[in-house]
Chain A
Amino acid sequence: MTLLRTQNLSAFYGDFQALFDINVTVEQGETVAIIGANGAGKTTFLRAVAGAIESAPEMVVFDGQPIGNKTPHEIVRLGIAMVPEGRRLFPSLSVEENLLLGTHSERTGYWNLKRVYELFPRLYDLRHLPAPSLSGGQQQMAAVGRGLMSNPRLLLCDELSLGLAPVVIRDIYQCLGAVIAEGTTVVLVEQDINRALDASARFFCFQEGHLALTAPVKDFDRAAITAAYFGV
């Protein structure tokens, strides 16, 4: 079943067009990676799906419902959660308060505080600390946990590995495996191609705002990816 479909999705920052006619689908339960160079439009795509950039209603269809013109808080309530680039935890809130912010989506389901702490046991010990006092990896875990607390059907993860040590990245992707196993559909944006492709069954490659290539990971051809990635 198709969970998310974009139809000629275009997005603008003022007069600057950042996305051109993107047509993709994401099936229920699958994990898709979006790869591409800096400025390719990966984050813009996620922000458009999450409602942070407005588009025409039919450009983004979630579970059969046009949502392109909805506001971010309406979209979270429908079941799309975003783990934003750079974590964006609330600095004056404790770790636990940050997690609880996820409950403002008013969605219930598998994920609650207890389950998030089981997924990220380190966070339990740190739960009363202010969010900025955590290490980068711990903050990333809290940001993923906050997204999960809204019990999303579709989880959008923007650059989970940004600024983290390889060993920490491995841990976080391991935990993400548990999330995927739970049935959550995941869209990963990554600059680290290998990491993204390892975790996904399919990928989209963006280049300068256009969809350059989409293919199942198992069929991928390194040369084809390079060509799509750099446009050479």
Chain B
Amino acid sequence: MIILFVVLPLIVAGLLPLVGKVSRRVLPDLLANATLLFLLVYAAVAGRALIAGGPVLQQAAWLGEAVNLRLALDGFSLLMLVAVSLVGLAASLFSIDYMEHYGAKANYYALYLVMVAGMNGLVLATDLFSVYVFLEVAAVASYALVAYGLGSDELEAAFKYLMLSVVASAFLLAAIAVVFGMTGSLEFAAVAAALKELNAGAVIGIASACFLLGFGLKAALVPFHAWLPDAHPSAPAPISAVLSGLLIKVSGVYAMTRIFLNVFGLTPALSTVLMVLGAVSMVVAAFLALGQKDMKRMLAYSSISQVGLVVLGIGIGTPLGIAGGLFHLFNHALAKGLLFLTSGSVQQATGTRDLDAMGGLAKRMPVTAATSLIGSLSIAGVPPLNGFWSKLIIIVALVQAGHPVFAVVAVLASVLTLWYYLLIQRKAFFGKLDEKWAAVKEAPFWMTVATVLLALLCVGIGILFASTVTTWIQPAADVLADGVHAVTGSWGF
């Protein structure tokens, strides 16, 4: 019943506004978190057994009548489902206390679950048009969530985000139309099979360029990144965590790699383009992050930089590079989710995001400071945390594949990353406590639970990295490394 991943959050989302009439806080909190917890347990516990015998394909029936609803679950989709449920649950637990002063909580959770359903649907889709539709589901919900505070800067950020997303959608639709024109189908398997027969390099090139522009905008790769540093900091903290931790990866990186590696097949030219785009994003965004005074804005630039590293890793195209890229994608989802949540705790306690105005907060908020430190060190790649291992794998893969220059660039970018994360830590949490923060208290219970959960995962995966890689990352990397064959071979219905 893999369709539950899409349908369950939608049904609960539909019920929530009604439930909100009866109970304004407790029931919506309970219902939304229980749904996400169920999806996490289902993905993490039942998921691996489901795909043990190869990818799961499901054709849905409606009142006994077979309809053409097709979904597929393989190692790559399962990894993404687990990431979505995990970070989604943490951000939703955080929302219990954090969203209290925004009001209309039932409505907030409804939008949140629709966004989760959109991401899950995209991950399970087997055709290009469904990919497009679910991309829009997640995007439409996220525009409203970015603007949820209804302040003027939130509305402006949401509008900017909407406008650039529409441009991305236009490019994606154009690419999908070109693919349909060439192959007469939108199913991944049929398109991949038809493209193998056709000798249409120029047309595939144009479709690839349109996809690259569209997904590049969604993933906020430099030079398509202008919207992200506005949109992500303006959103409520749990939404920033989901946007940076999940949405740019699902609707940008996942969709792009699924189409480029499994449907089109990675050509050497495409591989070079991806690696260059990734490396440029990684370096440029790291420098831009250094100059930021706003805590969440710095984190947003860091997201662009780290997504660059993920794309660089996957772009190598070797099994090790893909595994490293996917592992970093997962680790970054956890750590960046954690950092945005802690920045939300700090913002709620102090009322500011300005790093220069903070200082010494570790004395007042020890748990938040400790979890934020773990997240920072993880993304910066300090052993033995999870981020260290994924960066190491990517760098080893770069050297192995004969790209020593890219490897050096990746190492230097890591140094920059460590630099700006230490800046955050020093300015916000260490040093002398300013008198005006004397009354600041530690974050409320559920906010602390969410950050501690993610911090423990960062440490735990760092220590148990070998088993994490073999259990979750390797099956996903195998699907991508298998290339076109992964789809044409076993995805026939």
A binds B: no
**Interface, chain B (partner A; CB < 8 A):** none
